[in-house]
């Protein structure tokens, strides 16, 4: 079963809520067969994920999204700030969704994204 919008945990945590909104925006057109974990926050789209994208802190999320550099992402993976649990190759394909979504984000969505990122 897939959820269209993220089910976030802990539910009352404002950072988890913002991360959920950021994820919903970025993965709006993605196949939601994966989950995310950022620090202690869980952002879940499915009960049966093919993979889980693990990011150590919300700060890393902010840094990676603002820098938008594949080198920075690769470096974060090598330094274990970013990891993939489950189907590794399927997880790597998520980069296409992010690149494609980056091209189609409307100005209002970009503003909202930046707003969330800076307030996390």
Partner 1 sequence: MRYNAGPANRAPDARPDIDDAFYEAFLGPSMAFTCAYFPHEEAELEEAQQAQFHLIGRKLRLKPYQTLLDIGCGWGSFVVYACKHFGVTAHGVTTSPRQAEYAQAWLKREGLEDQAFIECRDYRELVGELQFDRVSALGVMEHLGLRNLAQFFTSSHRLLKDNGLMLTQGISRDRRSAMDIGSDDLSRQILQGMEPPSLTATITQLEDNGFELQDVENLRRHYAQTCARWVAGLQDHRSQCLQHVDEATYRSWLLNLGMSSVYFEEGALSFHQLLSSKRTNGSAPLPLTREDIHG
Size of the site for partner 1 (CB under 8 A): 13
- The piece of 11-19, 32-40, 71-79, 103-111 that touches partner 1 (CB under 8 A) is 71-79
Question: How far does CA 78 lie from the centroid of its chain?
Answer: 18
Question: How far does CA 117 lie from the centroid of its chain?
Answer: 12
The CB-of-24 to partner 1 minimum distance in angstroms stands at 24
- The piece of 41-49, 53-61, 76-84, 106-114 that touches partner 1 (CB under 8 A) is 76-84
Question: How far does CA 100 lie from the centroid of its chain?
Answer: 14
77 binds partner 1 (CB under 8 A): yes
Residue whose CB is less far from partner 1, 80 or 103 = 80
Token pair, residue 29, equals 């057109």
From 89, 106, 108, 118, residue interacting with partner 1 (rule: CB under 8 A):
89
Rounded Cα distance between 7 and 110, Å, is: 22
29 neighbors 99 (Cβ within 8 angstroms): no
CA dihedral of residues 112, 115, 119, 120 (deg, nearest 10): 50
Residue whose CB is less far from partner 1, 78 or 108 = 78
67 binds partner 1 (CB under 8 A): no
């Amino acid at each position: 079963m897939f959820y269209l919008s993220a089910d976030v945990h802990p539910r009352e945590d404002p950072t988890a809520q913002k991360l959920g909104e950021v994820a919903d925006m970025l993965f709006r057109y993605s196949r939601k067969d994966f989950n995310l974990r950022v620090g202690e926050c869980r952002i879940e789209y499915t009960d049966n994920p093919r993979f889980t994208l693990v990011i150590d802190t919300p700060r890393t999320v902010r840094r990676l999204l603002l820098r938008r550099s594949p080198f920075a992402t690769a470096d974060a993976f090598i330094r274990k700030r970013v990891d993939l649990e489950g189907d590794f190759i399927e997880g790597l394909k998520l980069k296409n969704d992010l690149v494609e979504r980056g091209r189609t984000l409307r100005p209002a969505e970009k503003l909202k994204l930046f707003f969330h990122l800076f307030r996390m």
